[in-house]
Amino acid sequence: MAGVTALVVAVLHWLWSQGVKWAVGYGWLARPTRGERPVFGNPVEAFLATQRGSAESLGEWAFYAAVILIVLALVRYFPYHYFYKTHRLLAVVYLVLVYHAVVLTDFGYWTAPVGVAMALLLAYGTWAAAVVLVRRVGVTRQVRGKIASIQYYPGVRTLETAIDVPKGWPGHKPGQFAFVTSNLSEGAHPYTIASGWNEKTPRITFITKELGDHTSRLRAELEVGQDMKIEGPYGCFTFDDACPRQIWIGGGIGITPFVAHMKHIAIQRAAGQAGLPEKQIDLFHSTADYDEDAIRNLTADAEAAGVRLHVLVDSRDGRLTGDGIRADVPDWREASIWFCGPAGFGEALRKDFAAKGFDVKRCFHQELFAMR
């Protein structure tokens, strides 16, 4: 969202600056009369004045580059491993635009509050760009691990990978995600963590569905004992609320955060932790694919966590609807809803429940798991 906002503002700025030139060219405005060049008493101001031509030219080309790079970032068909490399170039573009802004900003502004604020923002942005260029983003949150086990579920075209992280991982909450690197040329990919956290057995599990070129190759590329780099945890889809009842909805591979939370609840139960808030939980798993082993594991996780499971296969049961959920959970008005899955499916359910008077702003939580 920040990138799109920056793109819109940059386009408006470019149109504003070019609009005057176009208007003069078409004869709609008279060319402004240039007076005598001012004499600068401040050597810094004098130097910046000599850079105006370069700043204008470089700034325009940097704008064109930024537009192309941001558009590429938004085009999902642009391969991720290319996006991973080209997106870093935005840091270079940003530094050119910093030069553009510093030179062309009225020198008197720098001593005013707006100038001080802009200077701080430019300095922070410059530092962030440098961190990106030297590849130090998230380095303090990175740990090394080794693949402990791999299991493939052909019916749902899904790979379950367990990674041992002997030291450094700070722990995570169910529903959070991490960036995982198995191939340096491919870069880091974000995956929801599909396991609870136990310090005695420090292991993290990821469940990945074959949805693209990278995930389709993982089964052939990964092997037990392979080194992995994990960065995280990130995210706030963590099931924290005060509602006595929760409704979980996992569409397809969106079941992953719910698997993690069920495993977390099971770990707490096995440890006999007292004082845990008891919640009534219904989990709806809607899927187009079916694998008996995967569903058997999901059922076992639900039983261990005391979660009521509803599995709906599209070809057999039809599409999951708000009416179906409300029929299975009569006291749905007292619940919070946690959804992870296709964005369109989630928005449809949100609108459906809103139409029935459900407080979706406060009680409908949707995982917006999209990096681009």
Model pLDDT for residues 130-154, shown as the tens digit of each residue: 999 998 988 999 999 999 999 999 9
Question: Looking at residue 26, what is its pLDDT?
Answer: 73
Model pLDDT for residues 229-282, shown as the tens digit of each residue: 999 999 889 898 889 999 999 999 999 999 999 998 988 887 765 444 578 999
Question: Looking at residue 12, what is its pLDDT?
Answer: 85
User: Has residue 25 got a pLDDT over 80?
Assistant: no
Residue 233, preceding peptide bond in cis (omega within 30° of 0): yes
Model pLDDT for residues 76-116, shown as the tens digit of each residue: 778 877 888 888 999 999 999 999 999 999 998 998 999 99
Buried-exposed string 116-128: b where 16+ CB fall within 10 A, e elsewhere: eebeeebeebeee
* C-beta of residue 148 within 8 angstroms of C-beta of residue 224: yes
Question: Looking at residue 372, what is its pLDDT?
Answer: 58
Q: What percent of the chain has pLDDT above 90?
A: 59
pLDDT-derived band at 369 (thresholds 50, 70, 90) equals low
Question: Cα dist. 223→99, 136, 163, 180, 238 in Å?
Answer: 47, 27, 11, 15, 30
Output the six-digit token pair for 189.
Answer: 């990919």
Question: Looking at residue 205, what is its pLDDT?
Answer: 95
User: Has residue 32 got a pLDDT over 70?
Assistant: no
Report d(CA 38, CA 138) in Å as an integer: 47
Model pLDDT for residues 292-315, shown as the tens digit of each residue: 999 999 999 999 999 999 999 999
Question: Looking at residue 330, what is its pLDDT?
Answer: 95
Question: Looking at residue 36, what is its pLDDT?
Answer: 66
Model pLDDT for residues 150-197, shown as the tens digit of each residue: 999 998 899 999 999 988 999 998 889 999 998 877 788 889 999 988
Longest dimension (CA), the chain: 83
Question: Looking at residue 3, what is its pLDDT?
Answer: 67
* C-beta of residue 101 within 8 angstroms of C-beta of residue 121: no
